[in-house]
Amino acid sequence: MSRIMRYALYFEFDIKEANEVFERNDKIQADKAKHPDKYPKDVFPPQGHLFGKPAGFYVVEGTPEQVFNFTQAWMGLKRFKVEPVTTADELPEMARKAFNI
């Protein structure tokens, strides 16, 4: 099983497709309620329409597979940039593994 990590999911979409985005969101939320292990969990509530733009971000916690499932559920409507998020307390262990010490 893959390691659970935190990710920042930055997204954008075409404002002309806003109605489709809202409809897709309802479908994804319903599927998430039925299959909670399929998708990552929200760590920080989704933030959207940053500075009046059809863009925003999520902070989630899950496996790479769960993040993949979530971003693929949006395929064709939202474009994502996925960045792993680490905390200061995780850095020493990550450094030990990276430098084999």
The CATH number of residue 66's host domain is: 3.30.70
Residue 47, pLDDT score: 78
55 forms beta bridges with 12
Residue 97, pLDDT score: 83
Rg (CA), the chain: 15
Could you give the number of structural domains in the chain? 1
Residue 51, pLDDT score: 66
Q: Give the residue ranges of the chain where pLDDT is below 70.
A: 1, 49-51
**Average pLDDT in the chain:** 91
Residue 71 is part of which domain span? 5-98
- For residue 83, the SS3 value is strand
Residue 65, pLDDT score: 97
Phi, psi of 49 (to 5 degrees): 55, 50
Residue 11 in tokens: 């997204």
Phi, psi of 76 (to 5 degrees): 90, -15
Residue 66, pLDDT score: 98
pTM of the model: 0.83
Inter-residue contact 20 to 13 (CB < 8 Å): no
Distance (Å, rounded) from C-alpha 23 to C-alpha 4? 29
Residue 98, pLDDT score: 82
